[in-house]
Amino acid sequence: EPEVTQTPSHQVTQMGQEVILRCVPISNHLYFYWYRQILGQKVEFLVSFYNNEISEKSEIFDDQFSVERPDGSNFTLKIRSTKLEDSAMYFCASSVQGTSGETQYFGPGTRLLVL
Amino acid sequence: TQLLEQSPQFLSIQEGENLTVYCNSSSVFSSLQWYRQEPGEGPVLLVTVVTGGEVKKLKRLTFQFGDARKDSSLHITAAQPGDTGLYLCAGIRPQNSGNTPLVFGKGTRLSVIA
């Protein structure tokens, strides 16, 4: 069964460093998302992406964040200068279409720890 | 910002018991999805409910979407230790454009004791 994959599974970085989190969405999906979950808190939407453009972003997704689809398969989230409060699980998700009721399939997540 | 309130936050029951967890909001959602999340893993979709009043069954799990599409419930019959986990509800806001992000509740952490 097709699934969303994410790499790395864990990332430890120093405050101020840049990190790139990678995702491979399900191959026929057109809509991509990043969510994050700080330990003990709820899953929060960061950004959605379609047709090589950001469709919607939350207030969390500030200028330190960027997304890119560098090739036909990868979807990346870059944090330019990490802060301690960026420590969280980051989940990538994808869906065939972006309509209401459309299932979003989640990857296993990348656990980011900023020291 | 629409909020999804889940209750109870924690639930510990004996194997074989029935339970219901709730997901409530003051806002209307186009659809609600229920996920189960294991520690250190991503949410895994259980079901999507779209129509007000809709009931879906998945083995011993019964999901219901409220008539007004503001709330949902998950009922588990004869719970088993394998049902232990974090149950998340997530809603999609009514929106004309695509890429509708999910709004998540905080989840109900269920523990089923053998």
What's the gap in Å between the CA of B30 and the closest CA on chain A?
6
The tens digit of pLDDT for each residue in A33-82 reads 999 999 888 999 999 999 899 998 999 999 999 999 988 789 999 999 99
Tokens of B78: 């004869």
Structural domain for A92, as ranges? 5-114
Confidence of residue B30 (pLDDT cuts 50, 70, 90): confident
On the question of pLDDT at B70 being above 90, the answer is: yes
CB-based contact, B100 to chain A, within 8 Å? yes
Report d(CA B51, CA B4) in Å as an integer: 18
Indicate left, alpha or beta for B26 from its phi (over 0: left) and psi (-120 to 50: alpha).
alpha
The tens digit of pLDDT for each residue in A99-113 reads 666 788 999 999 999
Report d(CA A11, CA A28) in Å as an integer: 28
Contacts of A6 in chain B (CB under 8 A): 42
Confidence of residue A8 (pLDDT cuts 50, 70, 90): very high
Contacts of A36 in chain B (CB under 8 A): none
CATH 2.60.40.10 correct for B5-107? yes
Instruction: Domain ranges for chain B, please list them.
Output: 5-107
Report d(CA B66, CA A39) in Å as an integer: 30
On the question of pLDDT at B97 being above 60, the answer is: no
What's the gap in Å between the CA of B16 and the closest CA on chain A?
28
Contacts of B31 in chain A (CB under 8 A): 100-101
Q: Which of residues B17 and B92 earns the better pLDDT score?
A: B17
- The percent of residues above 70 in pLDDT, for chain B, comes to 93
CB-based contact, B102 to chain A, within 8 Å? yes
In a 3-state reduction of DSSP, which class is residue A26?
coil
The tens digit of pLDDT for each residue in A19-30 reads 999 999 999 899
Asked whether A89 and A110 are in contact (CB, 8 A), the reply is yes
The mean of the pLDDT values for chain B is: 91
Alpha-carbon distances, residue A15 vs A100, A113, A115 (angstroms):
38, 9, 6
Number of domains comprising chain A: 1
With CA atoms as reference, the chain B residue closest to A39 would be: B40
pLDDT (0 to 100) of residue B109: 96
Confidence of residue B105 (pLDDT cuts 50, 70, 90): very high
Q: For chain B, where are the E strands, in sequence order?
A: 5-7, 10-14, 19-24, 31-37, 44-49, 55-58, 61-65, 71-76, 85-92, 102-104, 108-113
Distance of CA B17 to the CA centre of its chain: 18
- Rounded to an integer, the average pLDDT of B4-20 is 96
User: Residue A61 maps to which CATH number?
Assistant: 2.60.40.10
pLDDT (0 to 100) of residue B39: 83
- Rounded to an integer, the average pLDDT of B16-39 is 93
